[in-house]
Amino acid sequence: MKAQRRRLGFNWRGLVLPLVFLLSVELIAMASPIERDAFAAPSAVLAAAIRTLHSGAALRATSETLITAGSGLLLGFAIGLIGGIPLGLFRRADQLMMVPLESLRPVPPVALIPLSLLIFGFGYAMEIAVVAFAVIGPIFLMTRSAIRGIEPQLMEVSQALGLGLIARVTKIVLPAILPRIFVAFRIALGIALVVAVTVEITANPLGLGYAMTIAQQSLQPDLMFALLLWIGLTGWSLNALLLRAESRLFGAAA
Amino acid sequence: MSRRERLFWTLASVGLAVLIVMAVAKISEMRLVPPVFLPPPQRIWAALMKGLTTGNLAQMFLATIWHMAIGLSLAACLGVGLGAMIGTSAKARAYLMPTLEFLRPFPSSAIIPVTIAFFGLTETMMLAVIAFGSLWPILMATIHGFVTVEPRLKDVSRALGLSRRSAMMKIALPHAMPDILAGMRIGLVMALVLATVGEMLTGRNGLGQALLLAARSFRTADLYAGIILLGVIGFASMLIFDRVERWLLRWRS
Amino acid sequence: MAPAPAAADPVLAASGVSLDLGDTAVLRDIDLVVARGEVVCIVGASGCGKTSLLRLLAGLLHPTAGAISYEGYPVRRPRSDIAFVFQDYGRALLPWRNAAQNVSLALEAIGVPRPARGKRIEELLHKVGLDGHAEKLPRELSGGMQQRLQIARCLAQEPSVLLMDEPFGALDAMTRQALQDETLAIAAASRASIVFVTHDLDEAIYLGDRVLGLAGSPGRIGETVAVHLPRPRDQLTTRENPEFVRLRRALHDFIGTVQSDRHAR
Q: With beta carbons under 8 A apart, name residues in chain A contacting C62.
A: 1, 3
Cα of C82 to nearest chain B Cα, Å = 8
Closest chain C C-alpha to A2 CA, distance in angstroms: 8
- Torsion, Cα of B152, B155, B159, B161 (10° steps): 120
Report the distance separating Cα C54 and Cα C36, nearest Å: 17
Interface partners of chain B (CB pairs < 8 Å, 3 or more) are A, C
CA dist B53 and C173 (Å) reads 72
Give a three-class secondary structure readout of C24-63. Answer: EEEEEEEEEEEECCCEEEEECCCCCCHHHHHHHHHCCCCC
Per-residue pLDDT reduced to its tens digit, A41-81:
888 889 989 988 888 888 999 999 999 999 999 999 999 99
Between the CA of residue B120 and those of B126, B155, B202, what are the distances in Å?
A: 9, 51, 9
CB-CB under 8 Å, B159 with C108: no
What pLDDT score does A171 carry?
Answer: 81
Tell me whether B211 touches chain A (CB under 8 Å). yes
Q: What would the DSSP string read from start to end of C169-229? A: TTS-HHHHHHHHHHHHHHHHHHT-EEEEEES-HHHHHHH-SEEEEEETTTBEEEEEEE---
- For B94-123, give one letter per residue: b (16+ CB within 10 A) or e: ebbbbebeeeebbbbbbbbbbbbbebeeee
The span from the CA of B141 to the CA of B188, in Å, is: 13
CA dihedral B121, B126, B127, B128 (to 10 degrees): 80
Mean pLDDT of C185-202: 90
| Cis status of the peptide bond prior to C232, with omega within 30 of 0 | yes
Question: Residue C1: is its pLDDT beyond 90?
Answer: no
Q: Is C84–B159 a contact, with Cβ atoms under 8 angstroms apart?
A: yes
A129 CB-side CA count, 13 A: 17
**Given this model, what pLDDT does residue C2 score?**
42
> In this predicted structure, what is the pLDDT of residue A76?
95
Q: Does A19 touch chain B (CB under 8 A)?
A: no
Select from B231, B233, B191, B223 the least CA-distant residue to A100: B231
The Cα–Cα gap between B86 and B145 comes to 11
Q: How many residues does chain A have?
A: 254
Chain C contact set for B177 (CB, 8 A): 96
For residue C22, the chain A residues in CB contact (below 8 A) are 4
Would you call B150 and C91 a contact, using CB atoms and an 8 Å cutoff?
yes
Rounded-to-integer distance, Cα A1 and Cα C87, Å: 23
Question: Tens of pLDDT along C75-114?
Answer: 888 988 899 999 999 999 999 999 999 999 999 999 999 9
In this complex, the chains that touch A, judged by 3 or more CB pairs closer than 8 A, are B, C
**Among A82-91, A193-202, B228-237, where is mean pLDDT lowest?**
A82-91
Contact B251 C92 (CB under 8 A): no
What is the arithmetic mean of pLDDT over C109-128? 92
Chain A residues whose CB is inside 8 A of the B36 CB are: 118
Give the per-residue pLDDT at B81. Answer: 94
| A226/B contact by beta carbon, under 8 A | no
Q: By CA distance, what is B112's nearest residue in A?
A: A201
Contact residues, chain C, for B158 at CB < 8 Å: 60, 77-78
Q: Which residue of C88, C96, C109 is in closest CB contact with B162? A: C109
Rounded to 5 degrees, what are φ and ψ at C64?
A: -75, -30
Q: Does C64 touch chain A (CB under 8 A)?
A: yes
Question: In the 3-class helix/strand/coil scheme, how is B4-51 assigned residue by residue?
Answer: HHHHHHHHHHHHHHHHHHHHHHHHHHCCCCCCCCCCCHHHHHHHHHHH
| Chain A neighbors of C76, CB-CB under 8 A | none
Size of interface B-C (CB pairs under 8 A): 55
CA of C62, closest CA in chain A: separation in Å?
7
pLDDT at C105 (0 to 100): 95
User: What residues contact B92, with CB distance under 8 A and at least 6 apart?
Assistant: B85, B86
Q: Which residues pair with C12 in a beta bridge?
A: C34, C70
Reported pTM: 0.86
Q: ∠ CA(C142), CA(C144), CA(C148), 5° rounding?
A: 115
How much is the pLDDT for C4? 44
Q: What 3-state class would DSSP assign to C163?
A: strand
CB atoms within 10 A of CB C45: 17
Which of B112, B196, B234 comes nearest A106 by C-beta?
B234
Pairing of strands C193-198, C161-165: parallel
Question: A92–B117: do the CB atoms touch at under 8 Å?
Answer: no
pLDDT mean over A89-117: 90
Burial label, C120 (beta-carbon count in 10 A; 0-12, 13-18, 19+): middle
Spatial separation of the C-alpha atoms in residues C194 and C187, rounded to whole Å: 7
**pLDDT for position C35:** 92
Distance from C-alpha of C110 to C-alpha of B166, rounded to nearest angstrom: 12
How many angstroms separate the CA atoms of B143 and C195, rounded? 37
Best mutation target, B6, B22, B112, B220, to test chain A (most A CBs within 10 A): B112
Arithmetic mean of pLDDT over chain A: 87
Q: What is the predicted pLDDT for the residue at A1?
A: 43
The shortest CB-CB distance from B156 to any of C92, C95, C108 is to: C92
Chain B residues touching C88 at Cβ < 8 A: 152
Mean pLDDT, residues A149-160: 83
> Does C94 sit within 8 Å of B155, measured CB to CB?
no
Print pLDDT tens along chain B (253 aa): 678 888 888 889 999 999 999 998 888 888 888 888 888 888 899 999 998 988 889 999 999 999 999 999 999 999 999 999 999 888 899 899 988 988 888 888 899 999 998 888 888 999 999 999 999 999 999 999 999 999 999 999 999 989 988 999 999 999 999 999 999 999 999 999 999 999 999 888 899 999 999 999 999 999 999 999 999 999 999 999 999 999 999 888 6
Name the closest residue on chain A to residue B198, using Cα atoms: A202
Q: What percent of chain A has pLDDT over 90?
A: 41
SS3 state at B52: helix
Report residue C123: phi and psi, to 5°. Answer: -60, -45
Contact with chain B for residue A15, Cβ under 8 A: yes
Alpha carbon of C103: minimum distance to chain B alpha carbons (Å):
12
Interchain contact, B158 vs C60, CB within 8 Å: yes
Taking only residues 2 to 61 of chain A, the set having a beta carbon closer than 8 angstroms to any beta carbon of chain C reads 3-4
The C-alpha atoms of residue A169 and residue A90 are separated, in whole angstroms, by 12
Q: Do A4 and C62 touch (CB under 8 A)?
A: no
CB contact (8 A) between residue A3 and residue C62: yes
- Those residues whose C-beta lies under 8 Å from the C-beta of residue A29, and which sit 6 or more positions away, are A39, A40, A41, A43, A44
B206 conformational bin, left if phi > 0, alpha if psi -120 to 50, beta if neither: left
Considering only CB atoms, C88 lies closest to which of B152, B252, B253, namely: B152
Q: Indicate the helix (H) or strand (E) that contains C244.
A: helix C242-264
Chain B: residue whose CA lies nearest to A231: B106
Phi and psi, residue C145, nearest 5°? -70, -35
Q: Do B223 and A118 touch (CB under 8 A)?
A: yes
Work out the burial of residue B151: count CB atoms within 10 Å of its CB; fewer than 13 is exposed, 13-18 middle, 19 or more buried: exposed
Report chain C residues whose CB lies below 8 A from the CB of B159: 58, 60, 78, 82-84
Q: Which of residues 76-105 of A touch B (CB under 8 A)?
A: 91-92, 95-100, 103-105
Q: Is C65 helix (H, G, I), strand (E, B) or coil?
A: strand
Kindly state the percentage of chain C with pLDDT values over 90: 62
- Name the A residues in 129-188 with CB < 8 Å from any B CB: none
Residues in chain C whose beta carbon is closer than 8 A to a beta carbon of chain B? Answer: 58, 60, 77-80, 82-84, 86, 88, 91-92, 94-97, 105-106, 108-110, 137, 139, 157
Residue A216 in contact with residue A224, Cβ under 8 Å?
yes
Using the Cβ of C65 and the Cβ atoms of chain A, whether some distance falls under 8 Å is answered with no
Three-state DSSP class for C78? coil
Q: A204 — contact with chain B (CB < 8 Å)? A: no
Distance from CA of C80 to the nearest CA of B (A): 6
- The partner residues of C198 in beta bridges, in order of sequence, read C43
Please report, for residues C111, C166, C191, the alpha-carbon distance to residue C156 in angstroms, rounded to integers and kept in the order given. 11, 20, 15
Q: Which amino acid is at C89?
A: Y
Closest by Cβ to C60, choosing from B155, B174, B175: B155
Q: Considering chain C, what percentage of its residues have pLDDT values greater than 70?
A: 93
With CB atoms and an 8 Å threshold, state whether C22 touches A4. yes
Q: H-type helices in chain A, by residue range?
A: 13-31, 42-55, 57-89, 91-96, 98-104, 112-120, 124-148, 152-160, 165-168, 174-202, 207-217, 221-250
- Rounded to a whole number of angstroms, the distance from the CA of A166 to the nearest CA of chain B is 24
- In this structure, what is the dihedral angle of CA atoms B211, B212, B217, B223, given to the nearest 10 degrees? 20
Cis peptide before C95 (omega within 30 of 0): no
Residues 6+ apart with CB under 8 A from C94: B153, B170, B171, B174, C101, C102, C105, C138
Q: Is C19 near chain A, with CB under 8 Å?
A: no
- Interface contact B95-A197, CB threshold 8 A: no
User: How many of the other CB atoms lie within 10 Å of CB of B54?
Assistant: 9
> Taking residues C130-146, what's their average pLDDT?
93
Identify the DSSP state of C139: G
CA–CA separation, A213 vs A223, rounded Å? 10
Q: How many CB atoms lie within 10 A of CB C182?
A: 15
Cβ <8 Å between B166 and C137: no
